[in-house]
Chain A
Amino acid sequence: MQEADLLLNYSVYLVIGLGGALGAITRYVLSTWIYQKYFYTFPWGTFVVNMLGCFVLGIVYVLGVENLVTSPNTRLFISVGFLGAFTTFSTLSLETLNLIKSGEIIVAVLNGLGSMIVGLIAVWLGMSLTQLLLK
């Protein structure tokens, strides 16, 4: 499909938009539930949704891009729409900055670096497990 055709393919926007709406709501519900259960200085809610999103993205990537098991629209719905809204880099950055401002430097470093490192591991884990299951 030509780039111009892709931009005029409104069903793509609909699919991404629906996924995004669902992802954002799911993130809010899940993270606030986590905070009500386990409220600590460390922003566990954001951390868990981000890591879960990384893990699922690893699965979706292997299924959709490497093995073409899922349709393009399903891929867009889950990865760009749902997971795009489910995970959040901006909230992670804001909450890390809040921790720095309140003098909790160690927790801030753990949050920032931890999210990046555990995120990489989560994506790798999702991809590896899926590749293993598909063999």
Chain B
Amino acid sequence: MVKISGQARRIRIYIGEASKYKGVSLYHTIVLKAKELGLAGATVFRGIEGFGANTRIKTSRILDLSNDLPIVIEVIDSAEYLQDFLLFLDEVVNEGLITIEDLEVMKYSPKK
């Protein structure tokens, strides 16, 4: 497994928990794709409160507003490995935000 060291790139995808792609949770679809493409890893975070472009607040404090909590998916890998993944994201993320940042990886220790 040839993987990242030094310079890398991080993709963050901000979507809602209720977002779906072909009937499956979008965050799950994205993680499966990252795995299929052999990326270094993917992590899904669920936020407890927030709002997006539609300005509607979602929060775990209020029951009626807790059905579409914020989800952030982070994927870090070398830029060249992320090209196909970005094309996939462009296709499946219809509502949300995708950010790309260059960063430096200090340590990455995949299991052998």
Contact = CB atoms under 8 A, between A and B. Distances in A.
A102 B62 contact: no
Q: Main SS of the interface on chain B?
A: loop
Interface in A6-43: 27-28, 31-32, 35-36, 39, 43
A28 B61 CA distance: 15
Contacts of B62: 35, 43, 45-46, 95
A4 interface: no
Interface residues of A, number: 16
B57 interface: yes
Contact of B56 (A36, A91, A102): A36
A37 B65 CA distance: 13
Contacts of A94: 63
A28 B57 contact: no
B64 interface: yes
A28 B64 contact: yes
Q: Of B56, B57, B60, B61, which is in contact with the most chain A CB atoms at under 10 Å from its CB?
A: B61
B64 A46 contact: yes
Interface string B58-71: 00111111000000
A31 B64 contact: yes
A98 interface: yes
A98 B57 CA distance: 17
Nearest to A27: B64
Contacts of A45: 62, 64-65
Interface string A31-62: 11001100100010110000000000000000
Interface of B: 55-57, 60-65
**Top 4 closest A-B pairs, CB basis?**
A31-B64, A91-B63, A98-B61, A39-B57
